[in-house]
Amino acid sequence: MISPIGWIIIWIGILFNLLGTIGLVRFPDIYNRLQTSTKCVTLGSFGLMIGIFLLFGFNQTGIKALICGAFLLLTNPVGAHAILKGSLHYGIKLWKGSVVDKYGEDKLGGEQIEIEERAKEGEEKAKDG
Amino acid sequence: MIPMIIVLTFSAFLCLYRIQQGPTIPDRAVGVDIMGIIFVNITALTAVFYNLPYLMDLSIIIALFSFIGTLGLAKYLEKRSLDD
C-alpha cells in the first residue's frame, strides 16, 4: 500500500531536479542561478530520499537513505551560501535588473549592480550633443 | 527504471552545459556543485533498482566530498588561504 506513494514522491523529486537544472541554464545571473538551482535540487534530493525510505521501511537501505537526505538538507544551503559570498568578494556584479544590494552597501562600499548599457549610450550621446 | 535515470542524466548534461558555457568562475562552481548532487541521486536510485545496499554508503560519501569541494572552491573565490 505504501509503495505507490513512494514512487510518486520519487517522481516529484526527480521533476524538481529537472526544473532546477533548467533554471540553472536559463537564468541571467550567477545569483539567480544559485537561488533556483539550490532550492529546487535540495528539495528534489530530499524527496527522492524520503521516497526510498517509504519504499524500504526501517531497513538497511531505508535508514541510509534517510541519513543521506538529512545530510543533503543540512549541507547544500551552506555550500550555496559560501559560493554566493565568495562570488560577491570575487567582484561579480548583480544583474542589471536588480533593485537593491544591502550587503554591497555595507561591506564592499557601494552597490554591486551592473549598469545598463542603453543608459550609458544615452549619457554619451548627451555629452556629445 | 530507465525513464528516471534518463531524466536525471539529462539534468546532469544541463549542468555540464553551464560548466562549459558559464561566463565567470562562480558559474562553473555552481554547476559542479549541482552535478555532484545529481550524481548522489543517480547512485541512490541504482542502489534501489539493483538491490545493492552498499551503494547507499557510496551516495553518502559522494555527498560529503561534493560538499567539501564546494567549500574549497568558495574559499578560493574569496581569495583566502585554505587554512584560514
pLDDT digits (tens, 9 = 90+) for B20-76: 987 888 899 899 999 999 999 999 999 989 988 899 999 999 999 999 999 988 888
Q: How close does chain A come to B20, measured CA to CA in Å?
A: 11
C-alpha B55/C-alpha B59 separation (Å) is: 6
Confidence bin at A67 (pLDDT 50/70/90):
very high
Helix (H, G, I), strand (E, B) or coil at A28: coil
Length of chain B: 84
Do the interacting molecules here have an ipTM over 0.90?
A: no
Would you state the pLDDT for residue A57? Answer: 87
Q: What are phi and psi of B79, to 5 degrees?
A: 60, 40
Confidence bin at A95 (pLDDT 50/70/90):
confident
> Residue A8: CB partners within 8 Å, gap ≥ 6?
A51
Q: What are phi and psi of A58, to 5 degrees?
A: -80, 80
The model carries a pTM of 0.86
Residue B80 has pLDDT above 90, yes or no: no
- Give me the residue from B10, B30, B37 closest to A83, CB to CB: B30
| pLDDT single digits (tens) B3-36 | 899 999 999 999 999 999 878 888 998 999 999 9
A 2-61 residues with CB below 8 A of B? 10-11, 13-15, 17-18, 20-22, 24-25, 30, 33-34, 37-38, 41-42, 44-45, 48-49, 52, 55-56, 60-61
Residue A129 has pLDDT above 60, yes or no: no
Would you state the pLDDT for residue A47? Answer: 93
Residue A123 has pLDDT above 70, yes or no: no
Residue A50 has pLDDT above 80, yes or no: yes
Sign (positive/negative) of CA torsion B44, B46, B48, B54? negative
- Give the mean pLDDT of A33-50: 91
C-alpha B49/C-alpha A49 separation (Å) is: 14
Residue A91 has pLDDT above 60, yes or no: yes
C-alpha B27/C-alpha A24 separation (Å) is: 9
